[in-house]
Amino acid sequence: MRTRLGNGLYPMREAARMMLRDRDKGTATAFIADQTPSPETAYWTTFLGQQTPVFRGPGKLSKRFGMPIVYLHRQAPAWALHHAFRRSGARPGFA
């Protein structure tokens, strides 16, 4: 997330309070996870044909504040992927 473009960062433990504070500002909140949730506390769903753990927090906050969840997926153009792999020296599938 680039704060120079106007994005803000919420500490994980303060996300609910900050979302409530900013709810009238017309903001969007993105939850970006780089780890897998604990199997004991995760919600399990089938994704790409296999059981996958999912964080429960975004769903709980959505219900609490009456805010929708929107899934966004960005597909980079083929030339960008080729360029990224060429620059790193890796081949697609072997990064």
Q: Is the pLDDT of residue 59 over 60?
A: yes
Give the residue-averaged pLDDT of 72-76.
69
pTM of the model: 0.54
Total domains, the chain: 1
Q: What percent of the chain has pLDDT over 70?
A: 72
95 occurs within a structural domain: no
pLDDT at 31 over 50: yes
17 located within any domain: yes
Residue 93 has a pLDDT of 47
Segments forming the whole domain that contains residue 10:
3-88
In-domain check, residue 58: yes
**Is 94 inside a domain boundary?**
no
Q: Tell me if 41 is assigned to some domain.
A: yes
For the stretch 20-35, what's the b/e string if a residue is b when 16 or more beta carbons lie within 10 angstroms of its beta carbon? eeeeeeeeebeeeeee
pLDDT range class, residue 32, cuts 50, 70, 90: confident
Query: What H or E segment, with its residue span, contains residue 85?
Result: helix 78-88
